């Protein structure tokens, strides 16, 4: 039978569609298993790079990706805390905090030392307005560095805000909501650390 | 199709039948990513790659696919292709993926690709389809980059900001800030700016074409004695 005639037969159409779907899903599953390990490795590498960015070199000598405790955050969400240790003693912690920005959640990775002082912070993910709110990225502006060295007592709690709210942190021209959210996220992270300090530093020992 | 005119295919893709400026397709990614020239370029190049492969595949299987089920077949093909590109880039070119990742997912919903599969590749040979994919893709890239550059220039006063993140450090020379003290007009970065720029560009293209038409008409008219 000619292909032309075959094409118009009712049974040919679902079968051909089925074959295409089968070939496509086979290709996808092969590609998935071929790339799975590479992607996991690349994401692990990303995580290590981010951890290295928020924490000064030599601050920890353990594998931060291995030593973790999972606690419950202020909103009831699980928070995975990476505990930094040096010579077996806990020296600080790295964890993620999220706060709603202008357009969706802003995810911040922050490192805190044992005294509750910010070692460093980086925005991991956000969907803020390009050209305005994206100055929270280290690639666009050094603004996020202004958190380093800050703690709950320095500046005073009522000064933990952007300058428009009588705080100490700069806002951006045309974007106040975004930096306000990041300040709130970091402050929330410090409060979270203060509330769970013993658990985090203990959890690192076990 | 023995007398395929590649010149016409290329001209169609780049100008006469440009995806954005003439067909008015793919306006969703056009508005979403053209906040800077670099973003437009990245989205355009990623789309071109997918478009070429999808055109080739669709053209290769066009004889075996019944017209009745062709649309679902094309949709499955394109979605698979985009997912493969997404996985591959994520695994082996992770740094590029971090810049382009957002765009790749958007390509699935790009109606221009299904449009070319349906309008061209399903009725043409493999080679013309590949050429059409390249021409249409480059036309799309040109449109996105152009809209992006205008919006970026008016919105932030820069050109090709962060191009080196997308193309590598060798392209850092593309990054320019022609107006150092210009604060930028926020509106142009926001969605209304995209509509405004596109509207003016479309009007400009129309004007050019009307002028062209007029001059050809004038040239063919008999000269008064």
Indicate whether A43 and A59 sit together in one domain.
Answer: no
A7 lies in the same domain as A44: yes
Integer Cα distance of B74 and B57 in angstroms: 9
User: Residue A154: which residues within 8 A CB-CB, separation 6 or more?
Assistant: none
Q: What is the pLDDT of residue B127?
A: 93
A155 shares its domain with A77: yes
- Compute the C-alpha angle A46/A52/A56, nearest 5°: 170
* One domain, residues A16 and A86: no
| Gap from A25 CA to chain B (nearest CA, Å) | 8
Out of A38, A46, A130, name the one closest to residue B189 (CB). Answer: A130
Between chains, do B69 and A14 touch, taking CB under 8 Å as contact?
yes
Residue B225, pLDDT score:
52
Strand order in the sheet with A78-86: A68-72, A78-86, A89-100, A105-113, A118-125
Q: State the DSSP string of B130-196.
A: HHHHHHHHHHHHHHHHHHHHHHHHHHHS-BSTTHHHHH-GGGGGG-B-S-TT----HHHHSHHHHHH
In whole angstroms, give the CA distance from residue B194 to residue B33.
Answer: 10
B144 phi/psi in degrees, rounded to 5: -65, -45
- Tell whether A135 and A171 lie within a shared domain: yes
Q: Tell me how close the Cα of B204 comes to any Cα of chain A, in angstroms.
A: 27
pLDDT at B222: 63
Can you tell me the mean pLDDT for A188-204?
A: 85
Q: Residue B200: what pLDDT?
A: 94
A40 has pLDDT over 60 = yes
Contact A55, A84 (CB under 8 A): yes
Q: Which residues of chain B have pLDDT under 50?
A: 1-2
Give the domain extent around A115: 55-203
Tokens of A130: 């390009």
- Name the band, by pLDDT with cuts 50, 70 and 90, for residue A1: low
A136 shares a domain with A110: yes
The domain segmentation of chain B, as residue ranges, is 6-215
Distance CA B196, CA B151 (A): 9
Residue A131 confidence (pLDDT) above 80: no
- DSSP assigned state of A167: -
In a shared domain, residues A34 and A134:
no
Residue A204, burial from CB neighbour count under 10 angstroms (0-12, 13-18, 19+)? buried
H or E stretch covering B113 = helix B111-119
pLDDT tier, A103 (very low <50, low <70, confident <90, very high otherwise): confident
End-to-end C-alpha distance for chain B, whole angstroms: 45
Count CB neighbours of B200 within 10 A: 11
- Please tell me the distance from the alpha carbon of residue A197 to that of residue A191, in angstroms, as a whole number: 10
Query: Where is pLDDT greater, at A190 or A66?
Result: A190
Predicted pLDDT of residue B204: 93
With 70 as the cut, is the pLDDT of residue A36 above it?
yes
A62 shares its domain with A123: yes
Whether complex ipTM tops 0.85: no
Q: Which residues of B touch A45 (CB under 8 A)?
A: 94
Q: Measured between CB atoms, does B150 come within 8 Å of chain A?
A: no
Give pLDDT, residue A156: 87
C-alpha to C-alpha distance for A53 and A121, rounded to whole angstroms? 8
Interface test with A, best of B78, B86, B91 (most A CBs within 10 A): B91
Q: Do A28 and A75 fall within a single domain?
A: no
Question: Nearest 5 degrees, angle CA A148-CA A151-CA A152?
Answer: 150
Of A25-29, A73-77, A82-86, least confident by mean pLDDT is A73-77
Q: Are residues A171 and A77 in the same domain?
A: yes
What the block records as the tokens of B183 is 């604060």
A83: left (phi over 0), alpha (psi -120 to 50) or beta: beta
- CA–CA dist B224, A123 (Å, integer): 73
Q: Contact at 8 Å (CB) between A95 and A82?
A: yes
pLDDT tens, A88-97?
888 889 999 9
Q: Which residue has the higher pLDDT, B89 or A183?
A: A183
Domain count, chain A: 2
**Confidence (pLDDT) at B221:** 66
Q: Are residues A24 and A76 in the same domain?
A: no
> Residue A177, CB half-sphere, CA atoms under 13 Å: how many?
12
A122, containing H or E segment: strand A118-125
Can you give the pLDDT at residue A206?
Answer: 46
Domain C-terminal end among A19, A36, A52: A52
Residues in chain A with CB shorter than 8 Å from the CB of B34 are: none
Estimate to the nearest angstrom the gap between the alpha carbon of B176 and the chain centroid. Answer: 23
Long-range contacts of range B148-151, CB-CB < 8 Å, 24 or more positions apart?
Answer: B148/B33, B148/B34, B148/B35, B148/B36, B148/B37, B148/B38, B148/B39, B148/B40, B148/B41, B149/B36, B149/B37, B149/B40, B150/B188, B150/B197, B150/B201, B151/B34, B151/B35, B151/B36, B151/B188, B151/B189, B151/B193, B151/B194, B151/B197
Residues B187 and B135: their CA atoms lie apart, in Å, by 32
A199 in the same domain as A109:
yes
Interface of B with A in 182-211 (CB under 8 A): 183-184, 186, 189-190
| % of chain A at pLDDT higher than 90 | 34
The whole-number average pLDDT for the span A27-39 is 93
Q: Which residues of B touch A132 (CB under 8 A)?
A: 186, 189
């Amino acid at each position: 039978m000619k292909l032309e005639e075959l094409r118009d037969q009712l049974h040919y159409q679902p079968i051909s569609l089925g074959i295409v779907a089968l070939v496509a899903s086979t290709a996808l599953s092969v590609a998935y298993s071929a790339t799975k390990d590479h992607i996991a490795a690349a994401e692990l590498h990303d995580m290590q790079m981010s951890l290295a960015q928020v924490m000064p070199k030599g601050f920890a000598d353990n594998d931060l990706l291995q030593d973790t405790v999972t606690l419950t955050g202020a909103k009831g969400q699980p928070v995975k805390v990476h505990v930094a240790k040096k010579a077996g003693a806990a020296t600080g912690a790295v964890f993620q905090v999220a706060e709603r920005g202008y357009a969706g959640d802003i995810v911040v990775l922050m490192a805190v030392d044992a005294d509750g002082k910010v070692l460093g912070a980086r925005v991991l993910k956000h969907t803020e307005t390009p050209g305005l709110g994206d100055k929270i990225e280290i690639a666009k502006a050094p603004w996020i560095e202004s958190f380093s060295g800050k703690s709950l007592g320095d500046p005073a709690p009522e000064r933990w805000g952007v300058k428009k709210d009588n705080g100490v942190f700069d806002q951006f021209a045309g974007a106040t909501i975004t930096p306000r959210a990041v300040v709130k996220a970091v402050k929330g992270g410090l409060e979270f650390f203060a509330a769970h300090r013993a658990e985090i530093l203990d959890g690192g020992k076990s | 199709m023995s007398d395929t005119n590649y010149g016409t295919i290329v001209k169609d893709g780049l100008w006469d039948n440009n995806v954005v400026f003439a067909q008015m397709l793919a306006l969703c990614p056009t508005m979403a990513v053209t906040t800077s020239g670099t973003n437009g370029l990245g989205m355009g190049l990623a789309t071109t790659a997918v478009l070429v492969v999808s055109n080739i595949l669709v053209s290769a299987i066009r004889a075996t696919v019944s017209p009745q089920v062709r649309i679902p077949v094309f949709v499955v093909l394109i979605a698979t292709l985009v997912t493969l590109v997404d996985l591959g880039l994520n695994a082996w070119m992770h740094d590029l993926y971090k810049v382009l990742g957002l765009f790749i997912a958007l390509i699935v919903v790009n109606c221009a690709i299904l449009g070319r599969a349906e309008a061209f590749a399903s009725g043409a040979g493999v080679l013309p389809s590949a050429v059409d994919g390249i021409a249409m893709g480059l036309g799309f890239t040109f449109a996105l980059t152009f809209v992006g550059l205008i919006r970026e220039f008016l919105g932030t006063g820069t050109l090709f900001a962060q191009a080196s993140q997308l193309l590598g450090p060798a392209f850092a020379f593309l990054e320019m800030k022609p107006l150092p003290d210009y604060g930028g007009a926020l509106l142009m970065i926001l969605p209304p700016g995209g509509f405004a720029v596109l509207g003016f560009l479309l009007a400009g293209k129309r004007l050019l074409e009307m002028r062209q038409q007029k001059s050809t008409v004038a040239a063919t008219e008999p000269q008064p004695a």
